[in-house]
Structure 1
Amino acid sequence: MQSISQAFTAINTLKDEAQDKGLSIRYVPVTSRAFSPTIIERVEKTDQYLIVYLSLTALYGYNGILPDYFSDEIIREPANGLKAFLDIFNHRQFELMVDIWSKYQFFNANTLDAERKTNQNMDLILLSLGGSVCNGEEGTPLFLRGLRRYLLALFQRKEKTPKGLIFLLRSFFGPLQFEIVQHTVSHRNIPQDQRTKLGSSTSVLGSMGNFLCGVKMEDTDGSFSLNIKDLDLKTFNRFLPGGASWEELKHLLKVYTSNQWDCFLSLELRAEEIPPWQIGSMRLGADSWALSEEAYENAWVSPGKIGGDMT
């Protein structure tokens, strides 16, 4: 019994052979309806092609997708237009299967099943060169890291949406309550050469519509808010500046949004998780509250802007 891995390895060898001889390779399914113990049934060579007959799921033949009528017609009369038409799609299917298997083998050899330490970290090396490496993954199984990288690459190709960003964040940080508020108001500096100047002889205030006074302008299209709700103290501390997940969150936002929008982060800590504070405490920061009694409302903390210019 020939395994599919052995068959595709042999097909890659045949591809190299065809290329060396200046031939094109064609994949054709076996027309027989009987089970075949080998995937590569036979190989034929012509002046232009190296034809590989494969016993795999195709449009007709053994395990054919189409009804048996088509296989019976092709078996009865092999040289007909129907077979030639279906073989166009069969060839493309087999070609894609070989390509997918080859890429998987490369990915597997350089990440999931790598024998050398350098190859095991190949995904991190490539992402680091691209400026999108995420930290804080020590101890995470390598196959999960590989799936996360693949997921991130898929999201980078798709349209950027709040739902997509939330799904991505949950895949990295678990089932937390992420909320995105679009069109958050922010203020941006007006370039020096575009500011309104009183008394300028080259412009009349209001002649071109609305005008702005000052050095900043209100903007609602270039920023959004990311709220992480209902956190316990341990998870809350992870997302504070310097926490275990702070840098990872920054890089994920940078990669997903292509660094085009500002993101304002807000964290909600549950009331029962707010720690007591005493005079003489050695530490005072975003996770410290001076309360005279037990808290009854959740606490909101805004670490600041973490998108756009990544400040």
Structure 2
Amino acid sequence: MDVKPLYSRHSFFQQVRVMLQKLSRQKKLPPAEILTDHLRFISPLSLDAGHGEIGDVSLTQDQQWQVEVFAYGMTGAIGALPTAYTEWLIDRYYRYGDTAGKAFLDIFNHRLQSLRFLSWQKYHYYAASEYIDSPPLSQAIRALAGVLQQSAEFQQEKFAGLLVHPVRSLVNLEIWLQRHFAVSAQITPFTGSWKWVASELCCRLGHRQQDLGSAPMLGSVCRDIQSNFTLTLGPIKRDDANLFLPEGRHYHPLWHQIENYVGIGLDFEIDLLIDNEQSATAVLGLGILGLDICLAQRYPAVYHKVRLPVLDR
């Protein structure tokens, strides 16, 4: 595949963009590696003004494509260094055949032009999308929806709108969990939980500022009704219930996804509603107490609840 012709003499970015496309398809390598190892940007060793941003494009002996760039280089008619440096390098080259000084400056030329192209590519989404698997526009939409770092957890992008509003409904959480885990879900709000109270808010004997008449409460825990809800999953079969146990593959994702949805202001508990009729009789010594075996007689009810242990953070 020939990549030698000038595709865009007057646009450095389009020239490099097309070369990366062709070389990446030809060599089966990612464009980032092509830009680093297979392209070499140099500045002209001449004081002649160029007819555009791009000069000659040639293939070197070490199989690297060498691209001469007139703008933003170290040497040349519009280079960053004073003209005396370019004249001195030209004299060294034609009088002694010395290219060491120019090769040293080309190290900085290549780095500068590479960063210049990458900075342009970052803010031109159509160019960036050609070289990465995840389109940048999709990434920007995920960031606005609040799920930028949670792509593995929120796989259904159609539910991203549930996270846009600051006030999130528990009804939407039920629907999302049902679709994600393929199990019935029901949330009971305001179930309450016991909270530890800071010591400065408790009554303390012998402390004048925290006596029984002025301290807010007596004891170290209180019942908070508003900041807790209970999620009930099921009814489900016993084999499916094993997926939500601490050893199952749904245990950690379930806790993390609910935490990401409700935030840090709410606590919750998770119950599994297990169907007893479809559960076979457990062999003594092979069951799990509270899941498929119990002390005393068999569960008289059709369903029984198992509360999952809180995820250890």
TM-score (norm 2): 0.48
Relative to the length of structure 1, the TM-score reads 0.49
